[in-house]
């Protein structure tokens, strides 16, 4: 990255002017509190340690931003659908915070151009940009508070890049769709799991293989078993839609 360069001691030098310019394009305003935003775009694989032992990366901000985003969407959907029940709002919120959607949003915003990581582009964990988006939301919350963070996300991200009507009308819970197909056709479904530790990312990565009648129909990976199951179910559903009759 042109605005991040690595010192010999493992810390980063930031071209403040270039970073501030890119950040302003993403969030829409200037801020003097650049340090917290710098941290939001440093993935754990590119972490560095300060002399006092503090480790700098976006993990803590990602944790905070995940919770803030859930609250933003809960508040927004509560206002948007005054007659909707809890189940409906929960389903719509889960579709929006889907890792694939968050990654797409982050790339649309240009976060991939500002993110610092040491993860190769063909790495099996593909959620770096979505994680950075959550970290950015966490940084905004710390810097500007909930109200401004919510307004910024809804106006500059949600309304700009997402179609709420399409999200409401599209059923993307592939695992449920596959289970319905299994019940209808009276077949047997199992998941097989593997857990591996990615030393570069310093976290566990799960894989799930969806098996129907002893035949493999899809494999997925993710930061959790649930995430891996959904990816495997998505691949399986694409195959199942093409099958007009019961499996042998």
Domains and CATH numbers, the chain: 4-168 (1.10.1520.10), 174-240 (3.30.160.20)
Q: Residues near 225 by Cβ (< 8 Å), separated by ≥ 6?
A: 193, 206, 208
Whether this model's pTM surpasses 0.75: no
Phi and psi at residue 103, to the nearest 5°: -65, -45
- Measured between its terminal Cα atoms, the distance across the chain in Å is 54
Nearest to 143 by CA among 21, 27, 4: 27
- % of residues, the chain, pLDDT over 70: 85
**8 Å CB contact between 119 and 24:** no
Provide the pLDDT for residue 172.
Answer: 61
* Angle at which helices 128-144 and 16-27 cross, to 10°: 90
Tens of pLDDT along 146-185?
999 999 999 999 999 999 988 887 756 788 889 888 988 8
Between 140 and 167, residue with greater pLDDT = 140
Q: What is the mean pLDDT of residues 202-220?
A: 89
Q: What is the mean pLDDT of residues 141-148?
A: 96
**Of 85-89, 139-143, 151-155, the least confident:** 85-89
**Top-confidence residue, 76 or 245:** 76
Residue 81 CA: distances (Å) to CA of 78, 84, 146, 167, 176: 6, 5, 21, 14, 24
Q: What pLDDT score was predicted for residue 203?
A: 75
Q: Which residue has the higher pLDDT, 203 or 37?
A: 37
Note the helical H segments in 99-206.
Answer: 99-109, 128-144, 146-152, 159-161, 164-169, 174-185
pLDDT at position 247, please?
47
Asked if pLDDT for residue 34 goes beyond 80, the answer is yes
What's the mean pLDDT in 219-248? 78
Percentage of the chain lying above the pLDDT 90 cut: 40
Q: What distance in Å separates the CA atoms of residue 123 and residue 70, rounded to the nearest whole number?
A: 27
Average pLDDT, the chain: 84
Angle between helices 174-185 and 225-240 (to 10 degrees): 50
Q: Which of 41-45, 85-89, 141-145 has the lowest mean pLDDT?
A: 85-89
Among 34-48, 67-81, 143-157, 162-176, where is mean pLDDT lowest? Answer: 162-176
Per-residue tokens: 5: 């360069």
**107 Cβ neighbours under 8 A, 6+ residues apart:** 129
Would you name the residues annotated as active-site residues? 66, 134
CB 19 within 8 A of CB 11: no
């Amino acid at each position: 990255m042109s605005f991040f360069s690595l010192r010999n001691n493992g810390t980063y030098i930031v071209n403040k002017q270039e970073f501030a310019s890119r950040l302003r394009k993403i969030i829409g305003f200037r801020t003097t509190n650049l340090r917290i935003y710098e941290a939001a775009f440093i993935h754990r694989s590119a972490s560095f340690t300060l002399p006092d032992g503090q480790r700098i990366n976006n993990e803590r901000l990602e944790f905070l931003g995940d919770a803030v985003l859930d609250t933003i969407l809960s508040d927004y959907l509560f206002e948007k659908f005054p007659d909707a029940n809890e189940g409906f709002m929960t389903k719509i919120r889960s579709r929006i915070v889907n890792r694939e959607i968050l990654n797409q949003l982050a790339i649309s915003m240009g976060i991939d151009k500002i993110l610092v990581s040491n993860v190769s582009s063909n790495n099996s964990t593909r959620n770096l940009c979505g994680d950075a988006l959550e970290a950015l939301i966490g940084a905004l919350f710390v810097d500007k508070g909930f109200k401004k963070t919510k307004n910024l996300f809804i106006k500059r991200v949600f309304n700009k890049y997402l179609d709420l009507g399409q999200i409401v009308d599209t059923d993307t819970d592939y695992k449920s769709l596959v289970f319905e197909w299994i019940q209808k056709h009276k077949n047997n479904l199992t998941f097989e799991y593997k857990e591996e530790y990615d030393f570069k990312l310093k976290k566990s990565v799960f894989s799930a293989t969806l098996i129907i009648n002893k035949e493999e129909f899809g494999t997925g990976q993710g930061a959790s078993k649930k995430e891996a199951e959904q990816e495997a179910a998505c691949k399986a559903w694409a195959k199942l839609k093409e099958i007009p009759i019961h499996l042998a």
